[in-house]
Structure 1
Amino acid sequence: TDAAAREANAAIASIEGCRYIELPQNTGIARIRNRLAEAARYDFFLFLDADVFPVTEYFLQNYIEASYMADVVCGGLLFRTPVATDTNRTLRYKYGTRVEAQTSRQRMQNPYGEFRTLNFLISREAFFKTRFDESFSRYGHEDTLFGKQLQLNGCTIAHIDNPIYHDVPDTNDEFLEKTRKSIDNLCEHRNTLQSHVRLLSLYERLHRLHLAGAVAGIYTVICPLLLANLRSKHPSLFLLNLYKAGYLCRVMPRNAQAHL
């Protein structure tokens, strides 16, 4: 409840060394992260999403020991196994465990491309050299651009195994809605993210081959079948990728027309 949230926030604010900052309105993820950095006092910033929890009691110590390794250190994430028993969350859990929950060795194969905002340490200097692009006011891909900018700015990045648990995975429908919002944002920032998102690269190839319209048409026909699988007990990640590609092919021309 709102009352319970206010009590919890007041308790946080009363802890020595803690500051609770409340904005009058939601100004977007990128702008909020920039404001938090501006309010910070020390030389390193640790960013954690609100719905995550450290896996180990040595979480902070691990970051302190790794802070010398690079300008940015990413710890990774895990999902608690019991979530898999909830059939209404099977898609989010499967995507998380198969795609997002990678070891540090896996992430270091593409260090900037695997940057995620939900659990990372960054030096003050590297953050203010890069900052989050505040034109990304909607959900999706602000971390993709930040990783790209870190690379362009010559900031070093390291991945370690210091994960957090993602404790509140979305329901199947919530995850699908976020997926669509993320693709909508991808369309809006198409020029900025060019060549940095595989889904966008796929669209460009289809467009050059004059196949994007055909894929959009097929998507419209089979979308109910795709959704039936993605909401089921055993969703297919291949069909999720097909759903994403089809949705992008359908909305990209509409988005491009809106920005003429």
Structure 2
Amino acid sequence: MLSILIPTYNYPISNLLKSLDKVTIGFDYEILCCEDGSKLYIDENKTVCHSTKNTTYLYSKENKGRITSRKFLAEKAKYDWLLFLDADVAITNDNFINDYYSKYFTGEYDAIYGGCSYDLNRPDDSQVLRWKYGKTYEEVEAKTRNKSPYKFIVSANFLIKKETFFNLISKINGDGYGYDLLLGALMKSDNTKVFHVDNPVIHKGLDKNSVFIDKVEKAVETNYKLFNDNKINSTENSLLETFKTIKKIGLIRPISSIYKLSRSRILKQLMSNNPNMKILQFYKLGYLCHLSANTK
């Protein structure tokens, strides 16, 4: 009835699988884990997969990316509902799976997003940027997410019909950071029935500040490419909607110039022990304008 799919890249999944092994699941299910070209934790992950019931361990020698890895797992899945979980999340609710099933596992919706939360305690300064971003923009109650259902597409924890997943994924030609935006836009244009619920996982795998900045830039580059190639016609993404307004009123180059002049100071602030989320949002917008201003 349910295929639980966990794409993995250089991250230990022992705690996640042990949690899944303990949760109450009152129906047929399988767990598929795929190492996406990992170099670390391979033996550990393989061992815990083999010791966890209903679990299959898959391995790809080549790192193919998150979207390709999810597609591969979906192709191997034998059930019609797919639950995607990121490898670096934790489950604290013993009824996590049954809460999906008993409350929302119906034909009424095509995709159900459970949400994501973060530890209450502040992490080390070297990871505080990712933690603060998550607490500010990703840790959002379902009643708020349902007001803009295609805006809060966080792929760490979501349930989706296999048919719906393949219909969406067939329209995505690319991989990397930033494609959740395209997924949300495709869902909106296809009138996919999306519902958000309060059934969160805890995101544990916090990036170092410098790594997160690099991922933010890659995501902005992806978003700009998708926009420039007319792949995104309708979106609820605040950054892209602001960019479209700025473009319309002719402020791309002025903001690009401000970004270029202030970039080093902004990065210094974001790498500090008290990063400002509004400054991070300007950094993303400024970089988007900079890409636009320097594209022929």
**Fold-level similarity (TM above 0.5):** yes
What's the offset of the Cα at 1:133? 4.1
Return the alpha-carbon distance in structure 2 between the equivalents of residues 3 and 183 of structure 1.
28
Name the residue aligned to 2:261.
221
Judged with a 3 Å threshold, the aligned counterparts in structure 2 of structure 1 residues 136 and 55 are, in CA distance, closer, same or farther, namely farther
- Residue-pair matches, total: 254
The Cα shift of 1:60 comes to 0.8
Q: 1:70 aligns with which of 73, 88, 109?
A: 109
| Matching of residues 85-234 of structure 1 within 5 Å | 85-131=123-169, 133-140=171-178, 142-190=179-227, 191-196=230-235, 197-234=237-274
- Percent of pairs with identical residues: 29
Listed one character per residue, the Cα deviations across residues 14-35 of structure 1 (whole Å, up to 9, x for unaligned) are: 5342111112312222121111
Deviation, 1:170, is: 1.4
Runs of at least 4 residues off by over 6 Å: none
* Aligned pair partner of 1:27 in 64, 82, 86: 64
Q: Displacement of 1:194 after TM fit?
A: 4.1
Provide the TM-score with structure 1 as the length reference: 0.90
CA change 1:30–1:169 in 2 (3 A) is: same
| RMSD of aligned residue pairs (Cα, Å) | 2.0
> Which has a greater percent of helix?
1
Distance 2:184 2:251 in 1: 30
Amino acid at match of 1:238: K
Bigger drift between 38-47 and 201-210 goes to: 201-210
Q: Is the 8 A contact 2:109 2:193 kept in 1?
A: yes
AA matched with 1:139: Y
Structure 1's 211 and 4: CA in aligned 2 closer, same or farther, altered over 3 A? Answer: closer
1:42 corresponds to 2:79: yes
> Could you say if the C-alpha distance between residues 85 and 127 of structure 1 is closer, same or farther in structure 2, counting changes exceeding 3 Å?
closer
Q: Is the 8 A contact 1:213 1:249 kept in 2?
A: yes
Q: Unpaired segments of 5 or more residues in structure 1?
A: none
Q: Which runs of 5+ in 2 are unaligned?
A: 1-9, 11-38
TM-score, normalised relative to structure 2 = 0.79
The structure with higher relative contact order (CA 8 Å, sep 6+) is: 1
